[in-house]
A = this chain, B = another copy of it.
């Protein structure tokens, strides 16, 4: 089928928008949520300044777009892990996966570390999803914790700090497993080390 003018235009628009968002991710990862200027984004993207305003009204709108994409990736990862039946394995796998992903995709990792706790949507999604898994473990007696909130602080705090360490190059190759092991040990999982190192195969229920 021949492309109509409208279709061609839309495709170009979408490609430019994607270029801009990809550039914005690198910039936010490098400079954090507050410091970057419009010039930072368009220069990184290799586009004219006016182009920014063809796609976004404000700098904040771009930050939200970036946060939404990262948030969606987080959620889909959490949902894949949810197919595992053991809450300990779910929480351990989540921590381990995110720390490993920070190694393989530092831009993604720095965005999480630098804006995770600031951009509202991102933080809330993480919170909701984590709370489900932690609650499951507590109800089943697989976890012990003096409170849900403390367990939540444990997983999010140690997870983020573990990501930060590997991003800064301060940690060894097994850091993801080490961090997962400590999380599970804190929650009084007896086989914490075994679960933390369990090979990642096809999701077994």
- Encode contact with B along A113-125: 1 for CB under 8 Å, 0 otherwise: 0000110000000
| Interface contact B34-A146, CB-CB below 8 Å | no
Q: Interface SS of chain A: helix, strand, loop or mixed?
A: helix
Residues from 174 to 197 in A contacting B, C-beta threshold 8 Å: 174-175, 177-179, 181-183, 185-188, 193
- Any chain B CB within 8 A of the CB of A8? no
- Any chain B CB within 8 A of the CB of A32? yes
Given A186-B182, A186-B186, A149 and B164 touching (CB < 8 A)?
no
| Interface contact B157-A162, CB-CB below 8 Å | yes
- Any chain B CB within 8 A of the CB of A69? no
- Chain B hits for A146, CB < 8 A: 174, 177-178, 181-182, 193
Q: How many copies does the complex hold?
A: 2
- Any chain B CB within 8 A of the CB of A170? yes
- Any chain B CB within 8 A of the CB of A201? no
A34→B183 CA distance, assembly (Å) = 32
- Chain B hits for A35, CB < 8 A: 34
Q: Specify the chain B residue showing the minimal Cβ separation from A159.
A: B157
- Any chain B CB within 8 A of the CB of A151? yes
Residues from 124 to 176 in A contacting B, C-beta threshold 8 Å: 145-147, 149-154, 156-162, 164-165, 170-172, 174-175
Given A154-B182, A188-B185, A149 and B165 touching (CB < 8 A)?
yes
